[in-house]
Structure 1
Amino acid sequence: MRIGYARVSTEDQTTDLQLDALKAAGCHPIFQDTISGASRKRAGLEQALATIKPGGRLVVWKLDRLGRDFRDLNDIADELHARGAHFISLTEGIDTSSPVGEVIFRLLSVFADFERGVIIERTRAGLRAARARGVRLGRRPKLTPEQVAEASAMLAGKASAEEVAQQFGVDRSTVYRLKSRRISDITFRDEEPASQML
């Protein structure tokens, strides 16, 4: 029995390609998740693991659909082994029912974990370099300095947070932050610090 598992990280992505490949590989049923692979709580995967029987195969389109790090992949492989079941990755051609397939799976898991670690470290290094150059990071500010001044005047004139939020097309939480901070603490669209803008 082949049980399929498909996963995407966000609602904007689609599992169509994975589902086509899993169906062509004879998988039934197929379980799905829309969640980051870094999350340990994946309802679809838990259902797939609960459904699989001894001698069965858990099939994925690609190794990274099953997990994001070496420990996670190993835990899943160990659970399958304890159930007398095996794992197949279609893209990498892995089938852990054979000794060679098991070794290849473990090696690719290590390399996948290493690659992810390198990407994370490069990202962190890039962020540190950007901060050192004075680049402002984070979400794009929602209000310009002029809008902050106008919103502050409205609040001072007893306008409600809801009215101000509606006026500028922002969430009430943005207005509440404006109420609780001095204008000099507000992040503007410009790259210069707010204290230099006043």
Structure 2
Amino acid sequence: MSKIGYARVSTTDQSLDLQVAKLEEIGCDKVFTDMASASNTKRNGFQALLSYLRAGDTLIVTRVDRIARSVLDLQTLVNHLKFNDIQLQALEQPISTDSASGKAFLDMLAVFAEFELNIRKERQLEGIAAAKKAGKYKGRKPISENVKLDIHRLNKKNQPITAIARELNISRNTVYKVLKR
């Protein structure tokens, strides 16, 4: 029965130090960390954590939003933990998955975390729309007709896509888009 901690921040500008210190202070034997959005479920530290956890362990986070940002992700994680006889505990919220009231509160917090994420996305889209309307957000400059001709010329010479992109200093995706049209 080990206490295993998990700490996460969304960007490299933020610090994990406070979360890690709290987790170590309450006696976590090991702490896994990530610097990535919680909506990204392919986080290296998170994947290593899931591989490391064993039956009887308690996974400890400072807050629920450190481990999941959607209700579905959180419920999937909680079900995985429960199936493997692993408890989940949040330090700053009265949550522990070993009781019905703790599970209910956990689900409510997940709803609010997902709501917050969706509101932030909406604001971002509104900001981009306003910037476009004001002429401040114009997107990427289109590639020139000469570059398009060069792509077709090199493609007719059976050059690989990667070689074409490298020679013209453009992305492979751009090469594919031009050839598709």
TM norm structure 2:
0.70
Alignment: residue pair count? 144
- The 3 A distance-change label for structure 1 pair 137 and 8 is farther
- For residue 44 of structure 1, give the secondary structure of its aligned residue in structure 2: helix
Letter in 1 for 2:109: L
* Aligned ranges 1:144-155 → 2 under 5 Å: none
Query: What is the Cα deviation at residue 134 of structure 1?
Result: 2.6
Runs of 5+ unmatched residues, structure 1? 142-172, 178-198
Q: Which amino acid aligns with 1:18?
A: Q
- Indicate the SS of the match to 2:54: coil
> Counterpart of 2:107 in 1: which secondary structure?
helix
Write the letter of the residue equivalent to 1:34: M
TM-aligned CA distance change 1:176 to 1:123, over 3 Å? same
Q: Provide the residue aligned with 1:76 in structure 2.
A: 77
Confirm or deny: 8 A CA contact 2:32 2:46 kept in the other structure.
yes
How far apart, in 2, do the equivalents of 1:85 and 1:26 lie?
17
The root-mean-square deviation of aligned C-alpha atoms, in Å, is 2.3
Letter in 2 for 1:120: K
What's the secondary structure of 2:40's corresponding residue?
coil
Decide whether the 8 Å contact of 2:128 with 2:137 is kept in 1. Answer: no
Name 2:16's counterpart in structure 1.
15
How many angstroms apart in 2 are the aligned matches of 1:63 and 1:11? Answer: 20
| Alpha carbons of structure 1 residues 137 and 86: separation in structure 2 relative to 1, 3 Å | farther
- Counterpart code for 1:70: V
**Contact 2:23/2:62 (8 A) holds in 1:** yes
1:35-73 Cα offsets, whole Å, 9 max, x none, are: 222222122222222222223211011212112222222
The two structures have a TM-score, normalised by structure 1, of 0.64
User: Could you say which residue in structure 2 is the equivalent of 1:61?
Assistant: 62
Task: Give the distance between the partners of 2:88 and 2:59, measured in 1 at CA.
Answer: 5
Aligned equivalents of 1:89, 1:131: Cα separation in 2: 41
Specify the alignment match of 1:103 in structure 2. Answer: 104
Residue in structure 2 matched with residue 5 of structure 1 by the alignment? 6
Is 1:46 paired with 2:51? no
Q: CA deviation at 1:85?
A: 1.2
After TM superposition, the structure 1 stretch with the greater mean CA deviation from structure 2, 10-19 or 94-103, is 10-19
Maintained 8 Å contact 2:22/2:62:
yes
Q: Which of structures 1 and 2 has the bigger CA Rg?
A: 1
Extract structure 1 runs of 4+ deviating beyond 6 A: none
SS at match of 2:15: coil
TM superposition shift of 1:137: 5.3
